[in-house]
Structure 1
Amino acid sequence: MENLEQSTSNNCLILIDSSISFNELKSFLNTSCKIITFDYQSHILLKQNNIVHEISDEFIDDADGVQQTCYLLSRWSNDKLVSENLCYDGLNLGNLIQEEFRHFLIPIVKKFFELTKIYEKFKSSEFFAAPALYELLTCFSTQVKKIGISQSKTEFLNDTVLFKLTPSLTFRLSSDVYNSFKKIYDDILSVLFKPRINDSNILLVEADPLKLKHLLQILHQNNLKPVFLNRRRPVIWNLSSFLLIISSKSKFVSYHHIHKNDLYQRIMFDKKIISDKLNHLFENDSFFSKFFTVNDKSLWQFVKPRLYVLCKKQLIKSIEEIRITEILFDKYGFSHVLVLSEIGFNEQITLHVAKKKSVTSVLLQHGVYEDGTNSFTYNDNSGVIPNISDKISVWGEIMKNYLLSNGISLQKILLTGSIMHDDLFFRNDLKQNNFILFAVTPPSQNHVSELSVDLREKFDLSIKLIIDAVSKMNKNLVIKFHPSVTEKEILRIRNSYPYDFVKITNQNITSLIEKCEIFLVTDFSTTILDAAILKKPIVLIQIMNFSKNSSFFQSLLTIEKTDVEKILKSIIEDSKFKNSVIAKGNVFLSNYLVNGGKSSKILVDYLTSMRTVSINNH
């Protein structure tokens, strides 16, 4: 690959991404044009065809700085001018789409940074660019021509839904189609699972009942009524979830329970007001052009039509969501609200209504979060820090101290342990099979650094080295991808390694950990706790550049990808070494988790005591 310090005498630059096919690129291959790729797929395409090119990543020297810019731009609605226009019922509606908008912004802002640097370096050149890159470049240059066919629509994070029908059958639906089916489904089931009106209803928002099995049972035993408000995900989707809802006497609320005719006129009136305010707000190009400026060049021309579509769809929809959520609170008298995140659309609405109704809210820690240096901004923007919730239920001293060190009050913190892991402490009939389990979490779109070609190549190389290592050990390798991984990515890996001893599965990860001989995992994963509880040897392979002072990397066996074969061989052949690896997992478990098997009881005791105080005060 050519060095960026070389002469820029080439008078033509070809800027491509994954939207460009090889056929569309062919006409430029016999020219002196310099080619720059802007994503991993286009880099691989050119690499496989032995075409010399540069990578856009090389024009960024501060990925964290770009990420901070994404955080800043995603909070556009916090500006006084915007918040005054988008405030409804005391809630800044713009904040409801912060997660979706940031997810959209991260790759766009990264490319914009790169393009401004490339433009400065090659100002005198003629640019030919893929459609999205062309549109970004035209924000500040007219010396650009488009190659390829423009995409008709920008897809946002929640425009599609991954629906898991069985462990082996998953498919994606558009959110509109999914919500149409879900509405009918909810309306039918709501007749069977409609809650009663009383002050013992505990509202769980966008929660998976199977992950809260022990909590639901303990709530039922203490005469508290679990009630689900799941607007995005179904409460019941298979036999296991159905039987759990039945046995725990859980209920769920549906908008079917509300007579919307009484609200219709007001909702339509309020929607019209917000729609008019949005239209007026988006006419203020002067303000937005200045706000969405990166490297002294405005991104607003590109962002404007896309942000407008997102706002029109989600913010208008939020009016009905807010009003109906208020009625649900008034009707069913919830004593507490439990949420797993503060960043989600419906979670924010529910927490806002809970505040208005003086209902105590608890944010449940639902995973292992990075706790190293400089991780707070990332966690804060991920909705796992209690900014809105009255309390946060944490899993152990590590998370408690992390929150305290970042300014969260001790009075907000409930040291409960993990309600999601209680069940595992009661499993004794473990059966070990002759396979190695590899839990894979590939780079995502949550941080600019995760979009780099170098990181994606490290990830692919790690999979190759692990498969090669296991192939020499007469063992089967089962690969379990994180639920966020697309079917396209899974298919790519499957086609790359069509070996009999390699199996890619969608089965429940905990059931796989129960049966495996060795547990391999990349970077941060909550499944490490599952493996530690089940006393499996855990090998952590670090790919991403997380803080070295994280509790993960201090306690567990953390290795380089090139050492996989040696470590696996030692675990299989040396029982003493294997036990030492298991012991490391035990140390991490004892450091990270308290109240194993008792967490749900401790949380429910708190909810019960708070309910008693509330009753006595009335």
Structure 2
Amino acid sequence: LNTRKPAITGKKSLQVIKNTNSKIVNLNYFYKNAKSNIYSSKQSFQKILSTMINDDDYFEKSFSVNNIPFWSCIKQSFFKMCSTRFTESIERIFLLKEFLTSYDIALNFLWIDVGQEEKECIMMGKQFSIDSVMIQHGRFQTSKIWDKFATFLGQFPRPMLSDKQIVWGETTKKYALSYDHPEKNIIIGGSPRHDKFFNHNEKKSSNGNIILATTGTMFLSADTCTSNSQIRYDDYFREIYRIIKSLNGKKLIVKSHPSQILRKIVQDLINELDTSITLVENTDNQELFSDCDMVITFNNSTTALEALSLGTPVISLQTESWALEDDIAQSNAIVSISN
């Protein structure tokens, strides 16, 4: 069940589906049975929202900085967003109920605890006595700046909705224990998708390829999603292109982030600079990073660890100061470049 992007993105993912005898769930299949409940619930919600939108006194107190309200600036866009996202949730919740009623589901695996869709799956699963297991899917951030966001992030938020959590290793487990998460629920399972990186025995060849693994700006807090953050990111991209183009025998290959929004940002930059730049998507990172001279990434992304495990040199472009505090940067495992 994937409500964000297609479960099959190429031949390899199709083969996995076939080999594991998996089924792809389309929740819209259950719409007919849930249609009346969805419609009436959406109508009830819109009535509640229409009443709330006029309570300016309450919202002006909630949306203010130094006693200066900014509610009037965001009122219309805020309620438009609430209307869109909440009605999406109403629909999915009823569709999930129909799905879980129709199928005998034993366990729910998910990548993150705090996503809108994941919360709906977890909480609806609880109504059917279905346990949920969160699987760590990305590098654990160690910079202190993340502490202030810890209760809202996907690693170990508060409250923890999933019943069990499978983590890569001791670092993530110790972090979870420091926030009083029960040790009995935390399982060290490594990262099966990265086992092949450490078991890779082929000799590296120098072919002149330099991979720029893009991530986009960090839309985490107000100070990391400003215009300046995006400008810094764009400027780094342009400078990397300029330098590599000036080097004989070197070729820039850009690997985009899976996010559709971040991919568009990359595509726009390529269209601006040079449409002949190779842009790759849905690739096998092991093959890509083992067949290049160097990997360049941003703010110590997971791709940095993947490249290092293959013995590929890594440069991390640190667009945010907190990235320099990460253990991977402090240990000089990578070359950090910052303003």
Cα deviation for residue 463 of structure 1 reads 4.0
1:352 is matched with 123
Residue 326 of structure 1 contacts residue 353 of structure 1 at CA under 8 Å; is this kept in 2? yes
> How far apart in 1 are the matches of 2:338 and 2:90?
50
Map 1:338-417 onto structure 2 (within 5 A). 338-386=109-157, 387-417=160-190
> How far apart in 1 are the matches of 2:156 and 2:41?
31
Change (3 A) 1:534 1:489: closer
**Which of 5, 8, 15 is the aligned partner of 1:243?**
15
Structure 2 gap ranges (5+): none
Residue 440 of structure 1 contacts residue 482 of structure 1 at CA under 8 Å; is this kept in 2? yes
Residue 369 of structure 1 contacts residue 524 of structure 1 at CA under 8 Å; is this kept in 2? no
Deviations 1:552-577 (A, max 9, x none): 21331333359xxxxxxxxxxxxxxx
Q: Give the alignment's Cα RMSD to 1 decimal.
A: 2.9
Change (3 A) 1:257 1:460: closer
Q: Which has the larger radius of gyration?
A: 1
Deviations 1:346-394 (A, max 9, x none): 2111111122222211111111132221313334323332521112111
Deviations 1:224-246 (A, max 9, x none): xxxxx122322224333222211
Map 1:51-70 onto structure 2 (within 5 A). none
1:279 aligns with 2:50: yes
Deviations 1:581-613 (A, max 9, x none): xxxxxxxxxxxxxxxxxxxxxxxxxxxxxxxxx
The SS at the match of 2:192 is coil
1:230 is matched with 2
**Which of 91, 98, 103 is the aligned partner of 1:327?**
98
Change (3 A) 1:299 1:468: closer
> How far apart in 2 are the matches of 1:458 and 1:305?
30
Residue 256 of structure 2 contacts residue 280 of structure 2 at CA under 8 Å; is this kept in 1? yes
1:439 is matched with 213
Map 1:152-551 onto structure 2 (within 5 A). 229-255=1-27, 257-258=29-30, 260-261=32-33, 263-386=34-157, 387-429=160-202, 432=205, 433-452=207-226, 455-456=229-230, 458-463=232-237, 466-467=240-241, 469-470=243-244, 471-472=246-247, 474-484=249-259, 485-493=262-270, 495-496=272-273, 498=274, 503-507=277-281, 508=283, 510=285, 511-546=287-322, 548-551=324-327
Deviations 1:134-159 (A, max 9, x none): xxxxxxxxxxxxxxxxxxxxxxxxxx
Change (3 A) 1:441 1:316: closer
Residue 31 of structure 2 contacts residue 95 of structure 2 at CA under 8 Å; is this kept in 1? no
Deviations 1:294-340 (A, max 9, x none): 23222222322222222223323322321221232232221111111
Residue 430 of structure 1 contacts residue 515 of structure 1 at CA under 8 Å; is this kept in 2? no
2:337 is matched with 560
> How far apart in 1 are the matches of 2:256 and 2:39?
43
> How far apart in 2 are the matches of 1:548 and 1:488?
24
Cα deviation for residue 429 of structure 1 reads 4.2
The SS at the match of 1:420 is helix
> How far apart in 2 are the matches of 1:396 and 1:375?
19
Residue 340 of structure 1 contacts residue 364 of structure 1 at CA under 8 Å; is this kept in 2? yes
Structure 1 gap ranges (5+): 1-228, 563-618
Deviations 1:79-99 (A, max 9, x none): xxxxxxxxxxxxxxxxxxxxx
Percent identical among aligned pairs is 26
> How far apart in 1 are the matches of 2:136 and 2:15?
25
Cα deviation for residue 259 of structure 1 reads 7.0
Change (3 A) 1:368 1:514: same
TM-score (norm 1): 0.49
Change (3 A) 1:268 1:477: closer
Cα deviation for residue 477 of structure 1 reads 3.0
> How far apart in 2 are the matches of 1:268 and 1:296?
40
Cα deviation for residue 280 of structure 1 reads 1.9
The SS at the match of 1:301 is helix
What letter matches 2:163 in structure 1?
A: D
